[in-house]
Structure 1
Amino acid sequence: MCHDAAFLIVADGRGILHCNDARLTAAQARRAKHLAGGRLDLMALQTSGASWHPICYEYPPEEMAKVSMAKRISKLRAAQRLVRQTEPELAVPFAGPPCFLDAEVSHLNWVLDQRDGAFCDPEVSTAWLREHLPKQRWDYFLPGDAVDLDTGDITRDPVSAEFSFADAGAYLDRYAADRAEAIAGVLAGYPEPGPDLFDRFKAHFTHLGGLSDYFNRHIAMIVRFEITGPNGGVWDVDFAPGGATVSTASPDVRPHYRITTAGRWLDTVLTGRMAWEDLLISFRLSLYRDPDVYNDYLVGLLKHANAPALQAVEEYETGRDESERITVACDGARYDIPRYCPHAGEDLSVGAVVRDGQIHCLAHNFAFDLATGECLNARAANLTSRRVS
């Protein structure tokens, strides 16, 4: 069974579910356990997502701390919920934080010193999950460690045992120095772009704007690109019904999103060497949004960049079955809502937190106002919530 990069291995009467960079719903996790014969000997969970938010965003320090903690707790609660649903013999968190060797992005290694940041290491993840689900057996592994699924015994690798997450910064400095020549060789393969960069940028986004009017209507904003380095510039893409208009930025126009990156990294996308998602996950850019609301359709358009895939998303969102509904209680009121999240189908009966007049889907941390059904922190479909007597 596979979902994203999750995989289930059943052999010699043992079952392992490895949720690598995958957001399994509770129903999918339970089905995996069923396929394994009703028992999971080991379940590995990602507790520090591969995400450029919030680390690449231009938040002031106080806001960065607030957003980071909210993201961390949401991710850990999602892992807790999956393990509670499946009850594996051993649950193994694996996590971040992301680490960088190239000097261009090494400043982002500040997350290594943030023990309360969004991207926690496996040691921190395991401690939190042990505290919040104490009857479950938890542990984490380092390279070379081994587990005997028959006995449950863990053998620690003697070399990895010398590593400490508290020393991760110094470790990376030594590693970067050792790999400096190889890093320089890779970077040399990405030359600065030529003077036709804007023309190719314009053609690229004109093409993207013609792929799906459904996505254009839901993006419905101006995205500003600040491209640094030779032949760069400041360029606006206005997504609207009918397509995308590309122009040199005007000081009189206030964009909703701003994306800053170097011309040579933009060039890799325009030439097809790299997809937009690869550039985003490389962290070789910074982002700002005003208002600070995630636009899933913009990211979806950049990630898919494919008319059939965008059409499939449109058909899912416009044709989903909302006949199966549940009732949730909050602050003395009761609300009738669809059982499944309108964003990606998470089962809200087990995969959500209800508080302060909102329901938070733990799959992607989308928050919906129970009174109106409006998504509060992202551009997403309405929850179609109704208050009941």
Structure 2
Amino acid sequence: MKITYLGHAGLFIETQFGSILCDPWYTPAYFSSWFPFPDNEMLMRTKVGCKPTYLYISHLHQDHFDQTYLKQYVWSGATVLLPDYPLPLLERALRNIGFTRFRQTTSGQWLNLNRLKVMTLATVSPSDGPLGDCALVVDDGKTRIFNQNDARPLDLTPLLEDGRPVSAHFLQFSGAIWYPMVYDYPEQMMRTLGGKKRENEMARALYYIKQVKAAHVFPSSGPACFLDPSLFQYNDFDCDSTNTFPDQVVFLDYMKEHGYKNGHLIIPESCLMFEQGTVTIKHPYPELGIRESIFHHKKAYLEAYQRRQLSRIKANLAAHSCQQISIVAALKEWFEPLLAQADYLCYGIGGRIVLDCGDEAIVIDTLSRQVYAWNREIDWKYYFRIHRSLVEQCIATRQEDWVNALFLSFRFIAQRKGTYNEYIYTFFKCLSEERLRYAENYYQHKAEAISTFEQHGYRIQRICPHAGADLSRYGSFDLEQGILTCKMHGWQFDLKTGQCLTSEKHLISIGPSKDADSVEKTYTQRSPCSHCWFRQEESLKK
């Protein structure tokens, strides 16, 4: 098996039974805020992987689904390996740019492709990517690789249960979110939150490394770099312990500090040859030079990269000029019918969201289910200050997922009263009846699920209310502090009250164990992590 690293989450996998192109990304994403790091533009021109047997796109985030590149460069006759998602959003997007051949996968089950075996591990909660994220396992009979990219599978059993060793593990370790840098916080608070976020990101990656036990680990899927002068300070130039975007070299050092010396640095055009359990890595130039020119002198490298791209950034942003439409009227017509149906989301948000576009400010009121102009006296729960041209662009293109366009651009300032509220961003992912119906059904069935386990004298709700992780497996107890931590995303709960210490509006069921000597007891009616219920209900409706 030969793998050419394309940058970010991009892989071109070549086997004797066919090739797979995974998540190629070259085009600046999110209103030209994100660029691949290191620069991979030269690799795009070589057209490596442009005629694959199979195409695999893990999810619809723009740094994984590069619509421009796929449409212009990739052979449309490739067979697409579709993740097991309950909504056909990814298939629809690929059909729109010319792909017609598809093989549906089933999460956690092997699919045979002419002696090449593949398996997807899909996560499908509204908080996963753009309503879903997915990892890929590839096995050619001699070598097994786990392309986790930035997915966070809750159950690795299907990957590990047959006991076959994993030769290579590709996974995200760095930040890919706007928190905390866009929030209007004092400097010291920002640094404290940034440091905690950075540590959680790398600790989560290390947790997966420990579980998979791959022979070789390749940090990938980030970080992106930020070349617009207004965002340039978000890059981690000098291993700042409070920056949420540590690079590959930082994480490799982190692995070594924790006893893992099987990590490898790769850059775009690095070739990995797997043979009889060993890997040979060939870089486009010597690794010592790579570390020196790209990572040890990172600021100079990014400044040169910025100079090459600055005119492109300016041109892209200039294309989104203000049309001076009535944003209030447009969002009222669009959002109010959705709010009328969004019982669980509106309850979860429980307040008003303000979009301040300067000369026009809008209230999205989840209490009255209305959209109206903000008079700057009405109280709010979340406040966003965003340039009107970006909001107008989302309206003009009828963006059904503002997270995957506007919020991931980092081009806004936010304030909030209280802690993080996932329902707000879920609403902005679900700006169509199809998406909203899925989210509402998900939260309904999640609320109805009854599942508990007993440990350390407590009887506790099994399912974490954030993303559905099994707390009996992913829960970590600090009995001295009285805190239960979900290791999947770092959410914490008070063991006395069940109150979430990370996000408001979340409460887990917790009480004294019926049997203090019991290790674990389970009472389950249904699993809210499965999305079978959604397909079943949709079938019944039809």
TM-score calculated relative to the size of structure 2: 0.64
- Report the alpha carbon displacement of residue 136 of structure 1 after superposing the two structures with TM: 5.8
Q: Secondary structure at the match of 1:174?
A: helix
- Is this contact kept in 2: 1:45–1:94, CA < 8 A? yes
What are the within-5 Å matches in structure 2 for residues 15-30 of structure 1? Answer: 15-25=144-154, 27=155, 29-30=156-157
- RMSD value over aligned CA atoms? 2.3
1:73 CA displacement: 1.7
Residue 16 of structure 1: CA displacement? 0.7
- Aligned residues of 2:458 and 2:511 also touching (Cα < 8 A): yes
Alpha-carbon offset, residue 46 of structure 1: 0.6
Q: Matches of 1:126 and 1:244 in 2, distance apart? A: 50
For residues 107-150 of structure 1, the C-alpha deviation after alignment (integer angstroms, 9 at most, x for no partner) is: 434x4345212221111112112222x15622231222233322
| Residue equivalent to 2:299 | 169
3-state secondary structure, aligned to 1:164: helix
**1:154 has 2:277 as partner:** no
1:222 maps to 2:352: yes
In the TM superposition, what are the counterparts of 1:219-298 in structure 2 within 5 Å? 219-228=349-358, 232-240=359-367, 243-251=369-377, 253-272=378-397, 274=399, 275-277=401-403, 278-291=405-418, 293-298=419-424
Identify the residue that residue 312 of structure 1 maps to in structure 2: 441
Check 1:102–1:208 CA distance in 2 against 1; reply closer, same or farther (3 A cut). farther
- Looking at structure 2, the residues matched to 353 and 130 of structure 1 have their Cα atoms a distance apart, in angstroms, of 24
Mapped contact 1:95–1:119 kept (Cα < 8 A): no
- Displacement of 1:279: 0.8
Tell whether 2:468 aligns with 1:345: yes
Per the normalisation by structure 1, the TM-score is 0.87
CA distance in 2, matches of 1:113, 1:203: 48
Query: How far, CA to CA, are the matches of 1:146 and 1:348 in structure 2?
Result: 39
Gaps in structure 2 of 5+ consecutive residues: 1-118, 123-132, 517-542
Which residue is 2:204 aligned to? 78
Aligned length: 372
Asked if 1 retains the 8 angstrom alpha-carbon contact of 2:328 and 2:371, the reply is no
Contact 1:48 1:97 (8 Å CA) reproduced:
yes
Distance, in Å, in 2 between the alignment partners of 1:244 and 1:136 is 56
Runs of 4+ residues over 6 Å off in structure 1: none
Residue in structure 2 matched with residue 206 of structure 1 by the alignment: 336
Q: Secondary structure in 1 aligned to 2:386?
A: strand
CA–CA distance in structure 1, aligned partners of residues 234 and 257 of structure 2: 29
Question: Aligned residue for 1:11?
Answer: 140
- Of 260-269 and 302-311, deviating more is 302-311
For residues 256-313 of structure 1, give each alpha carbon's deviation from its aligned partner in whole angstroms, at most 9, with x where no partner exists.
211111001011222235431121111111211122x111111111112233212232
Shifted more, 55-64 versus 259-268: the winner is 55-64
2:169 pairs with 1:43: yes
Change (3 A) 1:294 1:347: same
C-alpha distance in structure 1 between counterparts of 2:385 and 2:202, whole Å: 30
What amino acid is aligned across from residue 410 of structure 2 in structure 1? F
Q: 1:380 to 1:317 in 2, by over 3 A?
A: farther
Distance 1:104 1:193, change over 3 A: farther
Is the partner of 1:101 in helix, strand or coil?
coil
- The superposition leaves residues 305-335 of structure 1 with CA deviations (integer Å, 9 ceiling, x where unpaired) of 2332122322332222415x141x4xxxx32
Q: What does residue 194 of structure 1 align with?
A: 324
Among candidates 451, 458, 461, match of residue 322 of structure 1:
451
Alpha-carbon distance change, 183 to 138 in structure 1, aligned in 2, over 3 angstroms: same
Quick check: 1:128 aligned with 2:231?
no
Q: Give the match's secondary structure for 1:276.
A: coil
Give the counterpart letter for 2:207 in structure 1: R
Q: Distance in 1 between the 2:512 and 2:191 partners?
A: 34
Aligned partner of residue 145 in structure 2, secondary structure: strand
The CA deviation string for residues 89-108 of structure 1, in whole angstroms up to 9 with x for no partner, is 11222364442223343343
Q: Distance in 1 between matches of 2:428 and 2:507?
A: 22
In structure 1, distance between residues paired with 2:208 and 2:505? 24
Cα distance change of structure 1 residues 268 and 5 upon mapping to structure 2, 3 Å threshold:
farther
Displacement of 1:34 in angstroms is 3.4
Please give the alpha-carbon distance, in whole angstroms, between the structure 2 residues aligned to 1:256 and 1:126. 40
Larger helix percent: 1
Answer yes or no: is the 8 Å Cα contact 1:213–1:243 preserved in 2: no
Task: Name the amino acid aligned to 2:265.
Answer: Y
Which residue of structure 2 aligns with residue 364 of structure 1? 489
Q: CA deviation at 1:363?
A: 2.1
Shift of residue 198 of structure 1? 2.5
Separation in 1 of the partners of 2:512 and 2:237? Answer: 45
Q: Secondary structure at the match of 2:319?
A: coil
Q: Distance in 2 between the 1:279 and 1:285 partners? A: 8
Change (3 A) 1:126 1:370: same
CA drift at 1:177: 1.6
Structure 2 distance, partners of 1:295, 1:182, is 35
Distance 1:103-1:94 versus aligned 2 partners, 3 A rule: same
Output the CA distance in 2 between the equivalents of 1:310 and 1:127.
Answer: 40
